[in-house]
Amino acid sequence: MKGKFLCGLLVSLLISGCGDDNTPTEKVLKEQFSNQFHGRLILDSIDIKETSVDGNKRTYAADGLLSTGYDLYTPVASLTDYIVVQKSWDKGKDIKFSATLNSLGNKDTGWKTIFSSLQMSETPKGNPIPNVEADGKYIIMDGAGFDDKINAIKDEYARKKSKLNELNNDIAKVKTNILVINKEIDEYWGKGEDGKTQSRYFVQRDL
């Protein structure tokens, strides 16, 4: 009975890797996870359980916590010169995950790891916007100075509308003046014997 127990323990240790140098370190896993997902996802903590071995190739069942590398935003409205966005995800929020981890290598050669079949308890929504708070193009819903920015936009719109109305009035005046000038030109050349209004061409032709 004791022999069977020791044999089973030995097999268990062999399957689990017995803590050997083929198991990638947590630092490596975090760095390569971030690189694989281009910094949009960050690995905060991870537990792995070896499921298969083929030489220096190993497969693990992985689970743990991750987060996004950036705050995420969703467009709400588009104004003439501005885009109103809403913060839809906080980068500090933990997400539970499970995945399959494939590892190639060991302590001496280094590791190449790939995460696949990633399942998350929540799916982050939105997109990162670099320097969103400093970029004057964006207005964050309920962000610092939101009301002041909206009021400033309203004032700017009112000024532009007033200028547009003035421009339309000026255009109408110009059109009226052109009609008056055209009438004066027509009257300047007088009328012919047939009573029709003459033009410069006909007057010069008859001279």
CA atoms within 13 A on the CB side of 29: 23
4 part of a folded domain: no
Determine the pLDDT at residue 155.
76
- For 50-70, what is the mean pLDDT? 96
Residue 60 lies inside a defined structural domain of this protein: yes
Q: Could you tell me which of 44, 57, 61 has the C-alpha nearest to residue 101?
A: 61
Read off the pLDDT of each residue in 42-71 and give the average, rounded to a whole number: 96
Is residue 27 one of the residues assigned to a domain? yes
Surface-to-core class of residue 99, CB atoms within 10 Å of its CB (0-12 exposed, 13-18 middle, 19+ buried): buried
Interacting residues of 143 by C-beta distance below 8 A, sequence separation 6+? 87, 133
Indicate if 124 and 178 belong to the same structural domain.
no
Domain that holds residue 128: 20-141
Q: Report if residue 153 sits inside a domain.
A: no
Reported as a pLDDT band with limits 50, 70 and 90, residue 164 is: confident
3-state secondary structure 60-125: EEEEEEEEECCCEEEEEEECCCCEEEEEEECCCCCEEEEEEEEEEEECCCEEEEEEEEEEECCCCC
For the ranges 29-33, 49-53, 151-155, which has the lowest average pLDDT?
Answer: 151-155
Residues 82 and 179 in one domain: no
Shared-domain flag, residues 126 and 168: no
pLDDT at residue 199, rounded to an integer = 61
As a whole-number percent, the residues of the chain with pLDDT over 90 amount to 48
> 13 in a domain, yes or no?
no
Sorted by sequence, the CB contacts under 8 Å of residue 38 that are 6+ apart come out as none
DSSP 5-74: HHHHHHHHHHHHGGG-TTSPPHHHHHHHHHHHTTTSEEEEEEEEEEEEEETTEEEEEEEEEEEESS-EEE
Res 168 pLDDT > 60: yes
Say yes or no: 70 and 102 in one domain: yes
Does the pTM surpass 0.85? The reply is no
